[in-house]
Amino acid sequence: MADHGVPEHAGFGSARVKTLAQASGLVARPPEEVFERLRLKLGGGHPMRMEVDRSRGFVAVQGGWWYRGEYRVTAVRGGARVAHRVVNAASRGRWGVPLANRFFIGFPAATTAGFARLLEELGTPE
């Protein structure tokens, strides 16, 4: 998977991050509603730092040594497109992230499956 600069993240400056998994899908609900439901869902549970930029439909959670999950919600005909990517955001010892995570065997598939469940939840009326 490719490395990408992350200019939109002030905390990274010109840092490079490696994309480990990505997925996207559609939710048949208004984008503002999808974004807010996503933000609330990501805000609970694990202790992570969260970045929110409502004007761009962007939310990211970062925790631990390396994990950063980024989400972007955009308007499309009939609802919202939600894009997700997981990146290795380690500032030190980034070479050890694959070792610590058993070379991410099965990680992309598990991420895609979890993201599909998330889309289902975001699309379900409250």
Report, as ranges of residue numbers, the positions in the chain whose pLDDT lies below 50.
1-14
The pTM is what? 0.79
Residue 92 · residue 64 · CB < 8 Å: no
Range of the domain at 68: 3-123
Q: What are phi and psi of 96, to 5 degrees?
A: -85, -10
Name the residue among 41, 70, 74 with its Cα closest to residue 55. Answer: 74
9-34 pLDDT per residue, tens: 434 433 567 788 899 999 999 999 99
Name the residue among 18, 17, 15, 36 with its Cα closest to residue 80. Answer: 36
Structural domain tally of the chain? 1
Tell me, what CATH number does 30's domain have? 3.30.530
